[in-house]
Amino acid sequence: MPFTLASFYLHLRFSKTLFMKTIDDFNFENKKALIRVDFNVPLNESFEVTDSNRIEAAKPTIIKVLEDGGSAVLMSHLGRPKGQKNPDLSLKHIANKVSEIIGVSVKFVEDSVGKVAEEAVAALQPGEVLLLENLRFHAEEEKGDEEFAEKLSKLGDIYVNDAFGTAHRAHASTTIVAKFFPENKCFGYLLAKEIEAIEKVMRTGEKPVLAILGGAKVSSKITIIENILDKVDHLIIGGGMTYTFVKAQGGHVGDSICEDDKMDLALDILKQAKEKGVQVHIPVDVLAANDFSNDAETQIVDVNEIPDGWQGLDAGPKTLEHFKKVILQARTILWNGPVGVFEMEAFAKGTIAVGNFIDEATQNGAFSLVGGGDSVAAVKQFGFENKVSYVSTGGGAMLESLEGKTLPGIAAIIGQ
């Protein structure tokens, strides 16, 4: 049977210790931990890290190794050098920031495999941290080359995958290298938390379970919708997707974004939801504009009666009042996608309101998971990071998890 999150959770339920080893299952005293981290962080023109969240997220795993009396060998990619050495994408630029966050002076070596890397690892003492050069300077990394993975495996005694953001890629450092550590491989704290958070939404969450799906297109979310209909009690549709559903049911959407070729699909989703007892909540009014601009003229209109020349760009007040009731009665919440064009201040109110409703629900004891690039960006922009239960660090990996797809990086650790 192919590995999926569903099969993983089934295994986890009946035999957790057999299938899921975490970093707490190992003592790293006098051991070298080869840790796949996700340090693909943004840099400015001066090569300074402008968002260190991913580094901070890896800190607990690294500290655990050091406190045990072990040493940590960190490997990551940065950007897309396409198998070529690119000085602008060297991980040496982030070594000082990693040192600052970890609280330990981080050593750096100018390759990720070979003699220079092996010598640097051999010289590493307990309590020390070594950062390898950008893995993607070698084309073999993204190709999942086994020989390259074997070279990486020589750099540690125990393999730790703590990079959820790349767990959906069968790359050498995320998946293939694990086969060279048949007994000595595990999840780091971050990756274990990601798995647990998704499990709460997809399997073990307290009911009612609510999914809030936004974004521009139905086509980009269809697999997620189809996969979660068996898991949720309520589904809120927001953002640009709204208008495909509205037009499919006979509404007039003006110049709003709409996938005409997906209207039959939208109707099928509504039919499936009804058959499965899932309540679907679609906006009833919207903030419409006469131009896709922050300075456009705006008006509140019925979602079914958007005038020609106008486009819906945010949720309206009646919609938000209804969404609030649905969100506050939920006990498990997944938020994937904004409900308006939040990048423009004039159309950010709906997304901010939804964030506030989720904050209130979370304070009242609900579990809330935010995942996917745009929703995570909104959460960060409007200061909700510490007001929800968990913010996923992996965009593509999170989405593929919700779609029920195989995650090679997870399968490699549990031996499937």
Going by the annotation, the residues of the binding site for substrate are 38-40, 54, 77-80, 136, 169
Tokens of 281: 């909540």
Question: Is 262 noted as a catalytic residue in this protein?
Answer: no
Annotated binding site: 38-40, 54, 77-80, 136, 169, 221, 312, 343, 372-375
- Known binding residues for ATP: 221, 312, 343, 372-375
Cα separation of 90 and 244, whole Å? 44
Is residue 331 part of the annotated active site? The answer reads: no
Binding-site residues for (2R)-3-phosphoglycerate, please?
A: 54, 136, 169
Marked catalytic residue, from 36, 54, 107, 387: 54
Exactly one of 217, 324, 380, 405 is catalytic; which is it? 217
One-letter-per-residue 3-state SS of the chain = CCCCHHHHHHHHHHCHHHHCCEHHHCCCCCCEEEEECCCCCCECCCCCECCCHHHHHHHHHHHHHHHHCCEEEEECCCCCCCCCCCHHHCHHHHHHHHHHHHCCCEEECCCCCCHHHHHHHHCCCCCCEEECCCHHHCHHHHHCCHHHHHHHHCCCCEEEECCHHHCCCCCCCCCHHHHHCCCCEEECHHHHHHHHHHHHHHHHCCCCEEEEECCCCCCCCHHHHHHHCCCCCEEEECCCHHHHHHHHCCCECCCCCCCHHHHHHHHHHHHHHHHHCCEEECCCEEEEECCCCCCCCEEEEECCECCCCCEEEEECHHHHHHHHHHHHCCCEEEEECCCCCCCCHHHCHHHHHHHHHHHHHHHCCCEEEECCHHHHHHHHHCCCCCCCCEECCCHHHHHHHHCCCCCHHHHHHHCC
Active site residue 217: yes
207: annotated active-site residue: no
Q: Choose the catalytic residue: 331, 373, 380, 405.
A: 373
| Residues noted as catalytic | 54, 217, 373, 396
